[in-house]
Amino acid sequence: MKNQKFNIPALPAVIGAIVSVQAGAAIAKGLFPALGASGTASVRIGLSALILLLVNRPNLRQLSKQQWQAVIPYGICLGAMNLIFYLALERIPLGLAVTLEFIGPLLLAVTGSKRFIDFLWVLLAAAGIALIAPWNEKNIDLTGALLALTAGGFWAGYIILGRRTSKILDGGEAVTVGMIFATLVVLPFGISSGGLTSFSPIMILSGTALALLSSAIPFTLEINAMRQIPARTFSILMSLEPAVAAICGLIFLKEHLSIYEWTAVAMVVIASAGATLTRDKKAN
């Protein structure tokens, strides 16, 4: 197929996707005052879909019933994950939002396991979350924390559905069609919030950068990596995401975390990497 020439090795693809999406999240948070979370998510997803359509030009008529049945849930999950994450990001720092969100992939990595070591990894992550839990009004926003955890559930679904879709549809085509359905999920919220009415021509450049860095580039890199490596290896690499998010939040947004919050990030990263490193190979 025409898009198969896009074949970056799995390791640089995943690392590139992580850095790209977190840099994009920093840009997104800068647009929140003008567009709001829903409006920013709509700009990101909508422009990403348009860019991918122009670049990949998928032939929708040639998709089989099986491919449609895979790519539609993938796109819906993708849209819900991004919208809910942005709603969380509007309330809590980037590094903490991604740390909480990452509980979804972590639980996915140990789902169905009866081994004691896997429960230890979950307990380690839970201890990290306890360090940043909003036990009182001086800590992080409770609604933001719950939204980030919900986004994590959709992130787990994205991994499952993305791997399924990548096996029966070319990576670039899968992401392109998926982004169309993600737009259908997000856009009504962007319109109803009124944030899109504040979008001006001067925002086109930042909106395009957001679309490329946060969606078009990383999702294409990820789905091509999913085709090349097992879920275990993909999860190990993705466990770096909370740490990268915290660093990007510090550099781009000046979001300084406390020692407890940095410890929580480290605990979730260790738990995620440990869970996938010690996972039974039969689970792959």
- Tens of pLDDT, residue by residue, the chain (284 residues): 444 445 678 878 888 998 998 889 888 988 999 999 999 999 999 999 999 999 989 889 899 999 999 999 999 999 999 999 999 999 988 888 888 888 887 787 777 667 788 788 888 888 887 777 655 555 678 899 899 999 999 999 998 998 899 889 887 899 999 999 999 999 999 999 998 988 888 888 889 999 999 888 888 888 888 778 776 677 667 777 888 888 888 888 888 888 888 898 888 888 877 876 776 555 44
Q: Is the pTM of this model over 0.85?
A: no
Q: Quick check: 34 and 203 in contact, CB under 8 A?
A: yes
**Within a 13 Å sphere around the CA of 97, how many CA atoms are in the beta-carbon half?**
28
